[in-house]
Amino acid sequence: MRFAVNHRCGGIGGARVGALFAGNSPIPVETPALLLSTMKGLPAFLSRDLVANLPFPGPHPLHISPIDFLHGPTPSIISSIGGLNQMLALQNCVFVASARDSIESLPESVAANKLGASFETPGGRRLVKPSDYMEIISSLMPDFWASLADEVPARVSEKRNKASVDRTVRWLDDCIALDKTGGSNIFGAIVGGASVEERKRCATEVAKKNVRGFYIGGFGLGESMEERPSLLNAVVDSLPEEKPRQISGLALPEEVLQGVAAGIDLFDSTYIYHLTLGGLALVFPLDILEGEIFSTQLHNFGDVTKINLRATIYRKDTSPLVDNCSCYTCQNHTRAYINHLLNVHEMLAQILLEIHNSHHYLGFFRSIREAIKIDKFDLFCRKFIEGRRAHLTSSQPCYDVHESPFLSVQTN
């Protein structure tokens, strides 16, 4: 695995565009990049051929959780097949592994102890030791992977937070010692809850280790939007510039912009999955630097970034999800058809929605990269946030408590 920073917005630190070479592909993954979440190797509603047709600029980066493979084929069987790439016949994909997965493998900090991390899985609560974790990693053979981490919510005691940092650093040493490749593809996990001091301490300790990159965990577990920039900056300022940084738990567009502004390169989240499962489609424009960001025609229908296709207003709507969208769904089907599929509980609705939502969110990341390349990322962020605020002043939708658009994005 190789990584190079090709352009920084505003000099050292902050938003940056990079190239990540992984696997056997001569074409890099351009960063900042979205890692599509999967369920045992593939996105929930996309088959292998549909993944291959998504608009990736290079190899397809997919996020997997080794914990998902505790139930199913044994590590020895997966290893005999040749790892996850061979088992799924996805040679043109880059598999990125980290334990946390908000679909099936939820970290359970209360049940974790000095021996290992605890996870809630469909098969019940599981305590995973570094040796268990490394056995699965060795069989899956991901292109790179994060060490086992003790991720805790933001609101835990100072003693518990300190213990999580100590355990995570110790487990990193265990993972490196147990890795047959000597840590050549390992991302060191960084935790610390909502404490700037513990975040900085963990990042400083992990940066001393023989790792190829960094996995920043523990976000999206209760910290406020206002305190997140200082936590991100505390971590990133303690890390070397030349190594890639992955984060989990930042899902919404505004949260992604916060992460990019801090210098994060890879984002794994289950945002697309949860949108699709809820019958929601992303609709915000992607040419944010060129015109009005949000259309006024959406102001009466709730959240301006997405629409609810279950709503009766779309029953006779013969327009595509998004005009001029090049995805298969928008080129071939209408809002009315997807509304019908949702109401009769046909899984084709989720398939078509996940195609579009994946296509659209990947386009959002492409727009972010282009804005950084021309040194207009700060303008990009400002126009996006102002568009959300303008929408709120002209309508009064009911927002989920986790989706407040009043976010503070720090840019350079």
The Cα 78–Cα 84 span in angstroms is 7
Among 180-189, 294-303, 307-316, whose mean pLDDT is lowest?
Answer: 294-303
Q: How does residue 412 score in pLDDT terms, banded at 50, 70 and 90?
A: very low
More confident residue, 319 or 407: 319
Q: How does residue 392 score in pLDDT terms, banded at 50, 70 and 90?
A: low
- HSE-up (13 A, CA, CB side) for residue 367: 23
What pLDDT sits at residue 403? 40
Q: Is the pLDDT of residue 371 over 50?
A: yes
Q: Is the pLDDT of residue 401 over 50?
A: no
Q: Residue range 109-136: average pLDDT?
A: 93
Q: How does residue 102 score in pLDDT terms, banded at 50, 70 and 90?
A: confident
Which residues fall in the annotated binding site for Zn(2+)? 325, 327, 330, 356
Q: How does residue 390 score in pLDDT terms, banded at 50, 70 and 90?
A: low
More confident residue, 273 or 73: 273
Q: Residue range 223-239: average pLDDT?
A: 94
More confident residue, 166 or 294: 166
Question: What percentage of residues in the chain have a pLDDT greater than 90?
Answer: 72
| pLDDT tens digits for range 37-93 | 998 899 999 998 999 889 887 888 999 999 999 888 888 999 999 999 899 888 788
What pLDDT sits at residue 293? 54
What value does the mean pLDDT of the chain take?
89
Which residues fall in the annotated binding site? 325, 327, 330, 356
What pLDDT sits at residue 12? 62
Q: Is the pLDDT of residue 395 over 90?
A: no
| pLDDT tens digits for range 173-207 | 999 999 988 778 999 999 999 999 999 999 999 99
What pLDDT sits at residue 297? 43
Q: Residue range 398-409: average pLDDT?
A: 38
